[in-house]
Amino acid sequence: MAKPRKPQSRVTAQGQISVPARVREGLGLSTGSVLEWNTEAGVAMVRRVGLNTSEDVHAAMFGRTPRARSLAELKEGIARDIRSRHARD
C-alpha cells in the first residue's frame, strides 16, 4: 500500500501560499489566525500563534482557573448584579 501524500502548497507569484485543509483543521486555524515562521538550516517551521485559551490567560493573571457555571447560575449572577447597581436606598 502506498504512503498517503503529505499536504503540499504552491507559492504564487505574489509569494502567497494556501494552507491545506488537513493542516488548517489540525492546527485549529480559521480566518484571521496568525502563523509564526522560523527557518533554520534550510527547514521552515510554522506554528500557530496564540495557543493559550482564555482559561490559561485567566490563570496567569489571577492564579486560578474559573469554575464552570451553569446557564442558570450565570443568569442569577447577572440579575443579582443588576439589582445591586439599581437598588434604591
Q: What is the pLDDT of residue 63?
A: 79
Q: What is the pTM of this model?
A: 0.48
User: DSSP characters for 34-80?
Assistant: -EEEEEETTEEEEEES----HHHHHHHHHSSPPPP--HHHHHHHHHH
- The angle at the Cα of 57, spanning 64 to 44, to the nearest 5 degrees, equals 135
Q: What is the pLDDT of residue 15?
A: 94
- The angle at the Cα of 87, spanning 81 to 89, to the nearest 5 degrees, equals 145
The C-alpha R_g of the chain, in whole angstroms, comes to: 23
11's grid cell:
507559492
* Mean pLDDT, 10 residues at a time, the chain of 89 residues: 85 94 87 87 87 70 79 93 84
